[in-house]
Amino acid sequence: MCMRILHSTIALLALIGCQHATVKQTAKSSDSYLCRFASSPITIDGKLDEPAWRSAMVVKKFYPYPPDAKGDLPPTTARLLWDHDYLYVAYDNVDTDLHSFSTEHDAILSGGDQTELMLRPDLTKPVFIEFLVAPNGTFFDCRYPCRGENFYLKYRNWESGAKVAAVAHGTDNDTSDTDRGYTVEMAIPLTAFADLSQPRNGVRWTFGVFRYDFDKSRSGPQLMMSIPKSLHDGFHYYEGFNTLDFVQ
């Protein structure tokens, strides 16, 4: 059971090998979002109190995974901004029992609560990039040359140089109380995408926001995603990702 939980992210992959062909989208259309230029400086401290965040688009529509999973989804919001140096990401997650699985960078985090961002910065290439953050601020970043190309262990040594901060609203890894959730703030240097598409006015990327949420029983996570449906490949189904249009 533990191994199944620990490797649940990996299990979501269908190992079909590298290929440029995309699968015809027959699922419900994903939502489109604008990524606005940050209007003022952002300090990465997990507090989300900078004026710039008030102008960011909000991702708050989430769907269960698998689609027939039961139970109400805990409220989740994500925001994205950019400037000439960074892509900024913020999460605000309601969570009544905080559970971080590791304190080690690039460790498997899926045995506990986590928020995920998947980016496909260049729609002409199969490259996609994954960022995971736990309530305690531990994060994982990995760049895949294509979907299905081996497991994450081969590529987790890639480093984005992201700055990450998290604030827990409650007590992490304590089932005796009721928590309120956690916020995350992240700045990803644009140099991480140097050989891909760079943000500028009119450029389009695609992305998905995903979440694991464990309850006090620790019996298994509730999974949710910002895309309506994944036809295959779990969270790595980038044909169904949301569109992200950069504006300045």
H or E stretch including 4?
helix 2-6
pLDDT one-digit tens code per residue, 13-64: 333 344 433 333 334 568 999 999 999 999 999 999 999 999 999 999 999 9
Number of helices followed by number of strands (H, E) in the chain: 2, 13
- Give the global pTM: 0.88
Rounded to an integer, what distance in angstroms lies between the CA atom of residue 233 and that of residue 118? 13
Rounded to an integer, what distance in angstroms lies between the CA atom of residue 167 and that of residue 178? 16
SS3 154: helix
Q: Answer whether residue 149 shows pLDDT above 80.
A: no
Strand locations in the chain (E):
32-37, 57-59, 63-65, 76-82, 86-94, 114-120, 128-133, 139-144, 163-169, 181-189, 204-213, 222-225, 242-247
Per the listing, tokens 């994450």 go with 152
Cβ-contact 182, 135 below 8 angstroms: yes
Rounded to an integer, what distance in angstroms lies between the CA atom of residue 238 and that of residue 111? 23
pLDDT one-digit tens code per residue, 190-220: 999 999 999 999 999 999 999 999 999 988 8
Rounded to an integer, what distance in angstroms lies between the CA atom of residue 17 and that of residue 115? 26
End-to-end CA distance of the chain: 48
Domains and CATH numbers, the chain: 2-13+33-247 (2.60.40.1190)
Q: Which residue has the higher pLDDT, 19 or 104?
A: 104
Phi, psi of 162 (to 5 degrees): -65, 145
